[in-house]
Amino acid sequence: MKLKEIYHFLNELSPFELQEKWDNSGLLVGNFEDEIEKVYISIDLDEEILESMDENSLVITHHPLIFSPLRRVNYDTYSSKLLKILIQKNIALISMHTNIDKTHLNRFVAKEILGLDLIESDEYICYANVDEEFDSFATKIARSLGLEYLKYVKCNQRVKKVALVTGAGMSLIDEVNADCFLTGDIKYHDAMEAKARGISLIDIRHYESEKHFSPLLEGLLEEYLKKNKLKAIITASKNPFKFCIQGETVE
């Protein structure tokens, strides 16, 4: 199957032109005329996962491998190291990042993974009414995402309205219209800002809130690939973080 045929299907599913200006979604490695024999789906790439893939295949990731354009390819950075393996194994790479965030991913995680009843959603932010004690709500969220350990900022005893952005959404704080915000990669100054504004935060983590990209896309692609006698193989780059308490690994 030609790479460009899958690309066009994906583009109809979630148009690449919806991506943000700073993003780099689309066909990052490989040529539209390449013949594809296998399709892999993963939130990201790492060396291990690439080793396990067959040559002449296509991998679809959520995060673009290349963000800063490359002036040199020295195999000593995340991008250039993995680019080398992709090219040597002739594996093509398509990334679906902010386009699928907007069209599917945020809402999928909010509804299917966290079980929230959405009342509205804009480009990135999903909203749900909650009206529950903060502690029990936070515990429920942690359980849904499989987080043993939870980091949060608690401004109010009760959560009334919650906002959600998967991945790292703190740059959207000015637009959040809720008393509790769920997102990942929350930094210290973000937390100070939210606390001053009276907005509670629950860190749903970047990897753990976005790894659902793979089953989501697999479901969306299944029928189409079957017709073309291909199968999407869900795989997963590893979460680079480990967590321990007093020396005991908890995650």
**Sheet (strand 180-183) strand order:** 118-121, 126-133, 158-164, 180-183, 200-203
133 binds a second copy (CB under 8 A): no
Asked if 151 interacts with a second copy (CB under 8 A), we say: yes
CB atoms within 10 A of CB 144: 15
Residue 52 interacts with a second copy (CB under 8 A)? no
- Bind-site residues for a divalent metal cation: 62-63, 101, 206, 210
Fill in the amino acid letter for 185. Answer: D
The least CB distance from residue 3 to a second copy, in Å, is 10
- Asked whether position 178 contacts a second copy by CB under 8 A, the answer is no
SS3 of residue 7 by DSSP? helix
Q: What is the three-class DSSP state of 130?
A: strand
Q: What angle do CA 42, 151, 244 make, to 5 degrees?
A: 75
Nearer to a second copy, 121 or 154 (CB): 154
Interface with a second copy, residue 72, by CB under 8 A:
yes
Q: How large is the angle between the packed helices 213-227 and 3-13, nearest 10 degrees?
A: 120
The residues of the shown chain that bind a second copy, judged by CB under 8 A, are 24, 26-32, 44, 46-47, 63, 66, 68-78, 81-84, 87-88, 90, 135, 138-139, 142, 148-154, 168, 184-185, 187-189, 191-197, 205-207, 237, 240-247, 250
